[in-house]
Structure 1
Amino acid sequence: MRRICLTLPTNRACTGTISDIGAEAAYAAEQFGVEVRLLILDSSDQSTFTEHAKAVGELPVLPNVIVHHLDEAAQRDFLRAVIDRSGAADPESLLELMLPDAVSYGACTNRAFLIAGALGCASIHRRDSDSGYQLLDGIPVFPIHQELLSLGRSGAEAADGVTENALDPVHGAKPVSMVGSSFIGELSVDVGEIRELDPAIYHEVVSLWAPPEWSREEIDGLVEESFVGGGTDPFIHDVSVLDVPDIWRIDMCNIGFDRELYERVPLPPATATIGSDYFLLHVVRHAPLPAVVHNRHIVNYYTPERRTGAGFLAYQLRFVKFLLSMLYFHPVYFALEAAGPALLDEEHHVRAAAIAGFARQTAGADRAENVRRLDVVDRCYRRLGGKYAEFADHLAPLRDRLLDEAQADIESFALLIDAWGPLVAASRAVGLELSPGADSDSDGALGR
């Protein structure tokens, strides 16, 4: 029986989401005959974890749905075992990249990748705790339906499961490595209030993530498309396109990857940086590998802590770090595009060493562009006034540190790519020893 991993990383209260994703797991098992490992990576505080554990306990017990609810202590124990077995030269530094103290969108997904390997899963399917499912005639519209139709099949084989096949036959023998969709609802990045306050400032700030080489028309197009997802139209019927993907229409809250992709290249482990978990979309786009983009959009919503007090400051800092990361990621994306088919070996596997090399080459980039980005944010936020001006005051003494961190993040990514193959192999071996999925009564342990 095919085994898959449906994963929910969270650091906030989300009992409703746990119930919803449990229903998606049940749907996958019942409709597709797969064994679903529902993996909840829980970094919330103890009281919230306890509430989540109660929600897990209330999920229906089904023969082919096994829930793994892991707190950070259980995740750390697993990672230590994996890192030790991998023979890493600097295990403590590697553990910090995999489980940092700060929020890391890439690191939490990398942990899911390794645990999926330990569980023997053929694919991983990620959802987020600040989103839900659309309804059609009162029935949830589960993205996993489209994901399981195509993931892991060759492009030629997957053609019969989509509504439109736009794939060049030259890619027909390659595996479908990614199936994704987007969201409806709020912007994916919480900057909508800036657009409401001053559209011109919104344009100037959002344009900071564009490559400096781009034309005015290209930058205007990027601002127009940024963070809007799948628009506002509700789901009516399935639309799915098999092709080298348009990654503008895919969000990480609504995505599935084949193991042949994520077991070769991890995500950047940058901390407190929005967008750091989207890297594999660019790999798929430029390799190029077949993917399916569909319209079973997730419903995105904001949590209140992002908009006031310390939560606002923390979120805006993550946005600024996203802008600064582009100094290093755009050259890597351009290098991926230039390499094209050379990114794959004869068996259509991604050449991870080449990507690590691209990351290292960009680490020495001139920081002048990032200094300019910080200057623009400072000026624009002060013009907005209020809490935005307060954030500018908060940001000012952090400038040098943030410039250093942006460079260190790309260097750490290269190091993690180097270590990734041994980590994946070790996770499989450790997984067999720990027997993930066996019954356990201990809080935060592998398996329910």
Structure 2
Amino acid sequence: MRRVCLTLPTHRACAGTIAAVGEEAAYGARQFGVEVHLLVLDSSPAPVLAEHREAVAALPPSPGVTVHHVDEDTQRAFLREVIGRSGAAEPDRLLDLMLPSRVSYGACTNRAFLIAQALGCTSVHRRDSDSRYQQFDGESVFPLHQELTYLGQQADAVRETANRSKLPPGSEGRRVALTGGSFVGEMSVDVAQISELDPDTYRELVGLSIPEGMPEIWREHLISASFRGAGKTSFDGDRTMLAPISPMRVDMCNIGIDHEVYRRVPLPPATDTIGSDYFLLHLAHNAELPGLQHNRHIVNFHTEERRTDAGFLAYQVRFAKFLLAMAYLNAVYTRTAAAADALLDAEGHVRASVVAGFVRDSVGLDRAEVVRRLDTVERSYHRLGGRYTTVADALTENRSRLLDEARDDMADFALLMDHWEALARASAEAGLAVNR
């Protein structure tokens, strides 16, 4: 029986989301006859962890669904075993990259990838703690429906069932590597207030995420589309497109990834950096791997923590670090885009060693470009004033560390890539015997 991993990484209270994702898991098992492993990767503090244990225990038993609620102690024990089995020469460093003490959007998803390997799953389906499902005709609109329909299927075999197809020539025989939808509702709180306060400053900041040399008309389009998801449209019936998925059109709270992708290449383990978990979306798009874009968008909302002074500062620093990281990531994306399907081997799988070489080369990027970016961000926050001045002061105070981390994060990513396929194999050998 086909096994899939529906994962919810979290470090904050989200009992309601656990219940909702539990319903999606039951739907997938019931409608598609698959074995769904619902994986809650929990890095929450003790009181919240206890709430989540109660929420998991309250999930009604459902045929075909196995629930795994895995706290950080259990995750660490699993990773130690896997790293040991892999024979890695620097086990402690790898453990730090897989389970850092600070928030890492890439590392939490990497842990889901390895645990999915241990569970024998053929795909990972990620949701986030600050999301809900749309309703249509009294029923929840679950993205898992489209993910299970298309993911891993040969593109040519399912082309007629999609509403539209824009497959590049020669890719028809490849498997659908990604499925994705976006979000509707609130724009990202990290940048929404900036856009409202000063549209010009917003364009300047978000423009730092766009590759240099982009024609101005496309640059403005990408800036306008960034962080906005699918707007406020409501689901009124399925619409799908079979094509390499643009990372601008989907969100990581609404993604399904085939194991042939994630067992070869991980995500950057950068800490306190939003957007670092979109690497595989860029890679799959640039390699011209078939994807399925759908309109089963998730409803976005923001927890109260995001609106506190501490939460505000933390997320603005993560946004700033993202803008610094993009100097390095865009250098990699430029090369993967130029390589296109030459990134793939004869069987249509990503050649991880080639991608690792691009990542490693990016570490040598002229630091002056990253310094220029940080100067721009600091000026922008001072211009915004108010509590954004606190962010600017924090960036100035930690300037040297932030510049070093932006570079070192890419070196760490290259190191993890060197060991990743061995870790994936070791995970499959280790297995996982944790549930509820």
1:292 aligns with 2:292: yes
The whole-number CA distance in structure 2 between the counterparts of 1:74 and 1:200 is: 47
Instruction: State the match for 2:182 in structure 1.
Output: 182
One-letter code aligned to 2:20: D
Q: CA deviation at 1:169?
A: 5.3
3-state secondary structure, aligned to 1:89: coil
User: What residue identity is the alignment partner of 2:133?
Assistant: Y
2:343 is aligned to: 343
Cα distance change, pair 409–226 in 1 and its aligned pair in 2 (3 A):
same
Structure 2 residue matching 1:190: 3-state secondary structure: helix
| Alpha-carbon distance in structure 1 between the residues aligned to 2:399 and 2:214 | 25
Match of 1:229, SS? coil
Q: CA deviation at 1:221?
A: 1.8
1:232, distance to aligned residue in structure 2 (A): 1.0
* Structure 1 residues 178-327: aligned runs within 5 Å: 178-188=178-188, 190-327=190-327
State the shift of 1:137 in Å: 2.0
Distance 1:44 1:178 in 2: 29
- Scaled by the length of structure 2, the TM-score of the pair is 0.98
How far did 1:181 drift? 0.6
> Cα deviations across residues 331-369 of structure 1 (Å, max 9, x unaligned)?
100110111121111111110000000011110111112
User: Is 1:174–1:290's contact at 8 Å kept on the other side of the alignment?
Assistant: yes
Structure 1 unaligned residues grouped into runs of 5+ = 437-445
Match of 2:435 in 1: 447
The aligned residue for residue 50 of structure 1 is 50
1:244, 1:394 → 2: CA distance?
Answer: 39
- Contact 1:190–1:302 under 8 Å retained in 2: no
Contact 2:247–2:278 under 8 Å retained in 1: no
Cα deviation, residue 189, structure 1? 5.5
Which whole-Å CA distance do the structure 2 matches of 1:26 and 1:271 have between them?
33
Which residue matches 1:36? 36
CA distances 1:110-162 after superposition (whole Å, capped 9, x unpaired): 00000000000011100000011000122100000000111111111222432
After the TM superposition, which parts of structure 1 deviate over 3 Å for at least 4 consecutive aligned residues? Answer: none
Q: Would the alpha carbon gap of residues 168 and 386 (structure 1) be closer, same or farther in structure 2, given more than 3 Å must change?
A: closer
Cα separation, 1, equivalents of 2:369 and 2:214: 14
Letter in 2 for 1:127: R
1:81 matched residue in structure 2: 81
- Report how many residues are paired: 436
Contact 1:149 1:158 in 2 (8 A): no
Q: Is the 8 A contact 1:103 1:272 kept in 2?
A: yes
**Normalising to structure 1: TM-score of the pair?**
0.95
Which residues of 2 match residues 93-112 of structure 1 at below 5 A?
93-112=93-112
- What is the Cα deviation at residue 309 of structure 1? 1.7
Measure the CA separation in 1 of the matches of 2:179 and 2:165: 14
Question: 1:90, CA displacement in angstroms?
Answer: 0.2
* Alpha-carbon distance, 1:168 to partner: 4.0
Unaligned ranges ≥5, structure 2: none
AA aligned to 1:309 is: D
Matched with 1:366 is 366
User: Percent sequence identity over matched residues?
Assistant: 57
- 1:118 and 1:427 in contact (8 A); partners too: yes
Superposed displacement of residue 312, structure 1: 1.3
Q: What's the counterpart of residue 129 of structure 2?
A: 129
Mapped to 1, the partners of 2:69 and 2:102 lie a distance apart of: 20
For the residue of structure 1 that corresponds to 2:179, the secondary structure is strand
Paired residue for 1:439? none
Separation in 2 of the partners of 1:284 and 1:229?
20
Three-state SS of the structure 2 residue aligned to 1:147 is helix
Contact 1:189 1:227 survives alignment (8 Å)? no
Q: CA deviation at 1:213?
A: 2.7
1:416 aligns with 2:404: no
Instruction: Report the alpha carbon displacement of residue 403 of structure 1 after superposing the two structures with TM.
Output: 0.5
Shift of the alpha carbon at 1:387? Answer: 0.4
